[in-house]
Structure 1
Amino acid sequence: MQDNTLEQRIQTLEDKVALKALVDTFANLADQKDLATQSLLFAEDAVVDTYFEGQLFASLRGRKEIQETFTGFMANFETAYHINGQHTAEIDGDRATAVHYCLVVLVNTVDGKKMRNTNGVYYNDEYVRQGGRWLISKRTSHFTWRDTMEMAAG
C-alpha cells in the first residue's frame, strides 16, 4: 500500500470500511429477521456454502434460494445475535476477499425450555462491486463449534 498514490490508499480504506459495514449490516438484518432486505446484500448469482464442524450442510445458489433458505432457518429461533469480530479484507479493483469471525447466538424453545445455542463461526467471503456498491458474491460459512445450554428462568 505504501507504493500507491494517496488517492489509491484512500480508496482502499474506503473500500475496507464499506466491506465491514456490509458484514455488519448482514448481521443486523439477520438479528432483525429481515431476510428479504438481507438478501439484497448478495449478488444476484451469489453462492453460499455452509459447513457444520467440517461437513457441508447446505450449498445455495442465487439470491432467491439464499433468502428462502435463510428465512426458513431463522424461523426456528425466537432471538438471534450476531457478534462480529475481526474482518480482514484484501481489495483487488472491483473484487475483494475477506475472512470474518463471528459469534452467533440463537435462542429457541425446545420441549418448553429456552435454549441458547452459541456458535463459533468464520466466513471466507468474496465480494464484488456492482453499481458502485459492494455485494457478497460468495460466502463459505464455517460453524466450527457449538455450545447449547438451557437458559435460566427469568
Structure 2
Amino acid sequence: MTLETLRAKEELRDLIDAYAYLGDEKKIPEVMDLFTQDINYKVYMGGNLVADVLGRENMEKDFNVHAALVKTYFTMNGQHTVKIDGNTATGLSFSQLKMIREVEGQDVLTDYSVKYEDNYVFQDGKWLIKDRIGYFMIIETRNLNQ
C-alpha cells in the first residue's frame, strides 16, 4: 500500500467522522461542505426508500427541517472500508445514531443502526461525498426515564 493510498484512506475516514461530529452539533452549513454540489442522498428504512434528495441546496433544506425536530444527536462510527481508484473512491461504513425528540412533553430516544454506501470524489484538494445511501437496518424507539 502506498503512502498516497494510506493518506487518502485517512482523509476519507476523517470525512465520515466530520459528518458525524458536525451533524451531532447541528452545524448544517459545515455538513454541506462535505458533499459535492450534485450530491444524491438516499435513505432506506425497512427496505423502503423514504428519502431521495438531489443537490446540496435541497439537502441543506431537508437537514435543517430534520434538525429542528431533534433535541440531541449522538453518533458513533464503526467500521469504514474504502476502495480508492485515483480521484474517486467507494466506501462502506457503519454508524450507531441516537436522536432525542420531544413527543407530547416526553423525551423519546430513537436508536438507529445504519450502513452507509458512499461514492467519493477528490475535488479542489479534498475528498467529498458524491453519493450516499443510508440503510437504516435496526430502529428502536423508547421513552427516556427522567
SS in 2 for 1:101: strand
CA distance in 2, matches of 1:67, 1:82: 19
1:71 to 64, 69, 73: 64
CA distance in 2, matches of 1:145, 1:71: 24
Letter in 1 for 2:15: L
SS in 2 for 1:88: strand
Letter in 2 for 1:40: D
Alignment-derived partner of residue 44 in structure 1: 37
* Correspondence 1:73-112 to 2 at 5 A: 73-112=66-105
CA distance in 2, matches of 1:138, 1:24: 16
1:131 Cα offset (Å): 0.9
TM-score between the two structures when normalised by the length of structure 1: 0.93
CA distance in 1, matches of 2:131, 2:69: 24
CA distance in 2, matches of 1:107, 1:145: 16
* Correspondence 1:108-123 to 2 at 5 A: 108-123=101-116
Residue segments in structure 2 that go unaligned for 5+ positions in a row = none
CA offset digits 1:12-68 (Å, max 9, x no partner): 000000000000001111100011110010001111011111100011111111111
1:73 Cα offset (Å): 1.1
Give the root-mean-square deviation of aligned CA atoms.
0.7
Letter in 1 for 2:142: M
TM-score between the two structures when normalised by the length of structure 2: 0.98
Alignment-derived partner of residue 56 in structure 1: 49
Percent identity between the aligned chains? 33
CA distance in 1, matches of 2:94, 2:63: 19
Q: Flag as ranges the 4+ runs of structure 1 deviating above 2 A.
A: none
Letter in 2 for 1:47: N
Alignment-derived partner of residue 4 in structure 1: none
